[in-house]
Amino acid sequence: MSRDTTNSTGALIAQLVDGLEPVRPLRFSSGMGFALAGLGVTLATVALMFGVRPDVLAGRFDPVFLLATGLFLLLGLASAVTVIVMSRPRVGSDHGGWVWAAATTALLPAAAAIIGLGRGKDAISATSVEHGLDCLTMGSGLALMTFAVLVWWLRRGAPTSPERAGLLTGVAAGSFGIFAFSFHCIYSDIVHIGLWHSAVVVVSAAIGQIVVPPIIRW
């Protein structure tokens, strides 16, 4: 090690020490708190701006609605947890648990495809496409809240895999967005949910993987 090298690194260390301020460590619980608060705001937005579907308000729950919203909620939670964990780097972390939640949720489009094929042309009418696009648009819009919260958290953290973090940010945001909008959408049809509601997650994930990495690189 040359003297110049020692001097320049020593000078850097002296500067860093001089600039040290006490820091509050990033807590997992804080990250999840912000993510859940974002979900709460998203749900409140749906309730206040669009209204909650009548059967849910009356305490009657359609089984397909329950299963689908439950799956999207779980996928959103699993992805959000992974994103929060990824903000604190550590050799030995896997970050792979969300895949199982994603695989389970993928049963929705798979079921939609099977049922849709059985219905033939009736499965996709102009009206159903119109409703589907509404859900896709609104669900994606509602994803923005969670998206912003997780990106902000990742920027505070140190994700070592920005592409994966971006993808999961999109998955979490899309899942929470369509989970919230499901409380307004009156359709409990598996083809509608499997096709259009799942599309929100796919679109959001694609946007996350493209848009987020440059923002969170460090």
Contacts with another protein by CB under 8 A lie at 1, 5, 8-9, 12-14, 16-28, 87-96, 156-158, 160-161, 163-164, 218
Which residue is listed with tokens 């690189």? 217
The helices-and-strands tally (H runs, E runs) of the chain is 10, 0
Q: How many beta carbons lie within 10 A of that of residue 43, not counting itself?
A: 18
The alpha carbons of the chain give a radius of gyration, in whole angstroms, of 21
Q: At closest approach, how far in Å is the CB of 106 from another protein?
A: 21
Q: Among 128, 152, 138, 115, which Cα is nearest to 184's? A: 138
Using the structure block, give the residue that is written with the tokens 């090298």.
5
The structure tokens listed for 45 are 């937005």
Torsion of CA 105, 115, 196, 37, to 10 degrees: -30
CB of 210 to another protein, least distance (A): 16
CB of residue 162 to another protein, shortest distance in Å: 8
For the record, the structure tokens of 64 come out as 């397909």
Q: Which two tokens stand for residue 11?
A: 């000078």
CB of 20 to another protein, least distance (A): 5
**Residue 207: CB minimum distance to another protein, A:** 20
